A and B are shown apart, each in its own frame.
Chain A
């Protein structure tokens, strides 16, 4: 399921990252790769703040919906 509908505080494993190549590459360098653990810290209207590899990353709704866990 897409990251946008994950419950806050739940630990999930990323299965796939979609979207345009450029952004996907950027996400990869931030640690969003298949197999990484990700936790949603807070969400506001689909925009998320997540914990990935111990750092906090804010992701807009359109991108978050392309991260499948």
Chain B
């Protein structure tokens, strides 16, 4: 029979690093709390029958955050054979709070005290043997980074699992508390498994209402709670929490020797500068500017130009030798073998041109991914959330919403998933809805294409596109906050800041590789398929002799053209009702890169400035690709909210594009018509939504007053 080992511990304590080492898998490890939002499974290297489960990091087994719920449900319902409790040795006291709860679950626990190398470096000492005796579980010193102690920890876990022992709790609360726990345990009867009784009893006393849902006949424990609260003159959960900390202090006092030096660590010194009241924002702006400057203009453009014009174009010079591009090579080859004309057209004009036009942007994206990977692993990401909180709060969003958005610049799917770290339900839903407004990696080609084709590669197009994304988020934040659904302050900001760490080259490249791979995979599947569909759609149609295939088909007569014509009227008010742009926009739902893919296959059509800009903006803001739509659906976990999010995004995109085209057209001298009137009217409605007072008593105004007083 196989053994299931669960890895549990605080956020950012090294669970995923350990998981990678044990299973040999390649999960990306970031340096901010909440990187792992879903549990992951893998098999222990060399032991096919041992399954390792990496659980999201949590501070407690209470049900206040999504991660806590995921981890807790897994531990209670699936009962792994053994838990490896990973404890960050550098702040062991806080970490043990979770450990004391894990030890009550009745599942055998092996404690791995991680980062022992850092503890020793600081001159502290953790007495592992004493700790083991005090807590009543096997304890091993581990360094996930250096790879020491890991084998021992796993071996002990396997032994514990095979022994099938029930974890006995060593820690007891004071007598009054224990009496009540016993009373509740008795009331529980046979409702829960015997070994889990203590855990359930304590949670019931803590008034944890979600725990009652897992019990068939939840007992009424209000009498016990009242007795406890009267005895201690405090609410029941605080009593239990305090007792835990008192117990932990006593354990720490005996088992940890600290070399006291109350000095600022290197991390603290960096934080003093980076989160400084005046310097924080300029530093952040400079960092983001550097990231986009390097990936969009210098290194990224050189690489992408080479890929677009060289590799997937005519050819390029390698040390002075002319190397023909892939399309040229392929065409020559197909000519040589005497390929049929239509197959050659499918391969060269359809597949290679379509997939190639998308793959050409890979180098640019890889550069962006390297920078994002670096930001995530060094620890700056958590600081960004802290810095941005000051600003975002004014728009009704929490600073934590900024992490999903930053990750969303790489890809919307992990961006939407990163929203799980936001505990407050309202804030999270709003973040899910607005995160994909930020141009993701796949939308970069659209920006690049439009800026190259329509605006002579003007430097302002890309920054403006990002600015529009941020503005869309901010304006949506304000407008949505004023609706009844989202009324109320964002949850107060509380977040652990991990110490800065120099990212390892391997980890940064792993994150780049992971994201780059999924992009290339998409090019090989969805985009390949879409390219074939587009090629076929533009070569089949109503020809001179009825419906059929023709090499030279007028676009208007092709199947694609018919579909485009049928729904083009929807986009006509936005200035891009032509067949190609309509098809491009529809295909953008499959994958945003395909917008460019369509133009790679079908040559570009002349458009006016406002129309081209409106086309770009609509594609940036409207419902994201299927993959991201799927992520939104999963994270919303509610059909109504999901459709609301998609509808809002598309409606908002339509509104903005309408305004850009119609009002932009006024300046360009298109004349004043019904469209412009509608745009003006919608603008007024939007301004009303933006500036009307808040439903509840205004948190924004309160803030302003406070600021005024502070000045």
Q: Spot the interface stretch: B305-313, B494-502, B624-632.
A: B494-502
Chain B residues whose C-beta falls within 8 Å of the C-beta of A28 in the assembled complex? 60, 238, 241
Query: Which residues of chain B from 268 to 307 have a CB within 8 Å of any chain A CB?
Result: 268, 271-272, 275-277, 280
Known contacts A29-B62, A42-B271, A49-B386; A54 and B90 CB within 8 A of each other: yes
Among candidates B94, B238, B275, B399, residue contacting A52 with C-beta atoms closer than 8 Å: B94
A29 to B370, CA, bound (A): 34
Among candidates A23, A42, A63, residue contacting B275 with C-beta atoms closer than 8 Å: A42
Known contacts A22-B64, A29-B59, A30-B94; A55 and B272 CB within 8 A of each other: no
Q: Indicate if B38 sits at the interface (CB-CB under 8 A).
A: no
Among candidates B60, B98, B399, B496, residue contacting A55 with C-beta atoms closer than 8 Å: B496
Are B93 and A57 in contact (CB-based, < 8 A)? no
Shortest Cβ distance from B416 into chain A, in angstroms? 23
A43 to B280, CA, bound (A): 11
Shortest Cβ distance from A45 into chain B, in angstroms? 5
Among candidates B94, B383, B389, B496, residue contacting A60 with C-beta atoms closer than 8 Å: B389
A47 to B383, CA, bound (A): 12
Q: B40-71 CB contact bits vs A (8 Å, 1 = yes)?
A: 00000000000000000001101011000000
A34 to B280, CA, bound (A): 32
Q: Indicate if A59 sits at the interface (CB-CB under 8 A).
A: yes
Shortest Cβ distance from A9 into chain B, in angstroms? 8
Are A25 and B64 in contact (CB-based, < 8 A)? yes
Q: Indicate if A56 sits at the interface (CB-CB under 8 A).
A: yes
Are A58 and B493 in contact (CB-based, < 8 A)? yes
Shortest Cβ distance from B555 into chain A, in angstroms? 56
**Max count, chain B CB within 10 A of own CB: residue among A27, A28, A43:** A28
Are A44 and B493 in contact (CB-based, < 8 A)? no
A8 to B237, CA, bound (A): 31
Are B386 and A47 in contact (CB-based, < 8 A)? yes
Q: Indicate if B156 sits at the interface (CB-CB under 8 A).
A: no
**Interface SS of chain B:** helix
A25 to B387, CA, bound (A): 24
Query: Which residues of chain B from 214 to 272 have a CB within 8 Å of any chain A CB?
Result: 237-238, 241-242, 245, 262, 264, 267-268, 271-272
Are A44 and B94 in contact (CB-based, < 8 A)? no
Shortest Cβ distance from B420 into chain A, in angstroms? 15
Shortest Cβ distance from B423 into chain A, in angstroms? 7
Are A31 and B93 in contact (CB-based, < 8 A)? yes
A55 to B673, CA, bound (A): 62
Are B390 and A47 in contact (CB-based, < 8 A)? yes
Query: Which residues of chain B from 25 to 41 have a CB within 8 Å of any chain A CB?
Result: none
Are B494 and A26 in contact (CB-based, < 8 A)? yes
Known contacts A26-B65, A52-B94, A53-B94; A35 and B245 CB within 8 A of each other: yes
Shortest Cβ distance from A11 into chain B, in angstroms? 7
Chain A residues whose C-beta falls within 8 Å of the C-beta of B387 in the assembled complex? 44
Chain A residues whose C-beta falls within 8 Å of the C-beta of B245 in the assembled complex? 31, 33, 35-36
Shortest Cβ distance from A31 into chain B, in angstroms? 5
Chain A residues whose C-beta falls within 8 Å of the C-beta of B267 in the assembled complex? 56
Among candidates B92, B272, B489, B493, residue contacting A42 with C-beta atoms closer than 8 Å: B272
Q: Indicate if B549 sits at the interface (CB-CB under 8 A).
A: no
Q: Indicate if A41 sits at the interface (CB-CB under 8 A).
A: yes
A33 to B93, CA, bound (A): 13
**Max count, chain A CB within 10 A of own CB: residue among B98, B242, B491, B710:** B491
- Chain A interface category by residue count: 35 or more
Chain A residues whose C-beta falls within 8 Å of the C-beta of B241 in the assembled complex? 28-29, 33
Shortest Cβ distance from B212 into chain A, in angstroms? 17
Q: Indicate if B413 sits at the interface (CB-CB under 8 A).
A: no
Are A30 and B494 in contact (CB-based, < 8 A)? yes
Chain B residues whose C-beta falls within 8 Å of the C-beta of A29 in the assembled complex? 59-60, 62, 97-98, 241
Chain B residues whose C-beta falls within 8 Å of the C-beta of A25 in the assembled complex? 60, 62, 64, 237
Are A44 and B275 in contact (CB-based, < 8 A)? yes
**Max count, chain B CB within 10 A of own CB: residue among A22, A39, A58:** A58
Are B492 and A56 in contact (CB-based, < 8 A)? no
Among candidates A26, A34, A51, A53, residue contacting B423 with C-beta atoms closer than 8 Å: A26
Are B93 and A41 in contact (CB-based, < 8 A)? no
Chain A residues whose C-beta falls within 8 Å of the C-beta of B489 in the assembled complex? 62
Chain B residues whose C-beta falls within 8 Å of the C-beta of A26 in the assembled complex? 59, 64-65, 423, 494
A57 to B710, CA, bound (A): 24
A49 to B496, CA, bound (A): 9
Are A44 and B497 in contact (CB-based, < 8 A)? no
Shortest Cβ distance from B62 into chain A, in angstroms? 6
Among candidates A30, A56, A57, residue contacting B268 with C-beta atoms closer than 8 Å: A56
Among candidates A30, A43, A59, residue contacting B493 with C-beta atoms closer than 8 Å: A59
Chain B residues whose C-beta falls within 8 Å of the C-beta of A41 in the assembled complex? 264, 268, 271-272
Chain B residues whose C-beta falls within 8 Å of the C-beta of A49 in the assembled complex? 271, 275, 386, 497
Are B492 and A19 in contact (CB-based, < 8 A)? yes
A17 to B497, CA, bound (A): 20
Shortest Cβ distance from B521 into chain A, in angstroms? 37
Shortest Cβ distance from A15 into chain B, in angstroms? 13
Are B493 and A63 in contact (CB-based, < 8 A)? yes
Since A33-B238, A56-B496, A60-B399 are in contact, a sample of 18 more A-B pairs with Cβ atoms closer than 8 Å, ordered by chain A residue number, is A29-B60, A29-B98, A30-B59, A34-B242, A41-B271, A45-B390, A46-B710, A47-B386, A47-B389, A53-B91, A54-B90, A54-B91, A55-B496, A57-B496, A58-B494, A60-B493, A62-B489, A62-B492
* 24 CB < 8 A contacts A-B: A26-B59, A26-B423, A29-B59, A29-B98, A30-B59, A30-B496, A31-B93, A31-B94, A33-B238, A33-B241, A33-B245, A42-B268, A42-B272, A45-B390, A47-B389, A49-B275, A49-B497, A53-B91, A54-B90, A55-B91, A58-B385, A60-B492, A60-B493, A62-B492
What are the 9 closest A-B residue pairs judged by CB atoms, nearest first? A60-B493, A29-B60, A63-B492, A54-B91, A29-B59, A44-B277, A58-B386, A55-B91, A53-B94
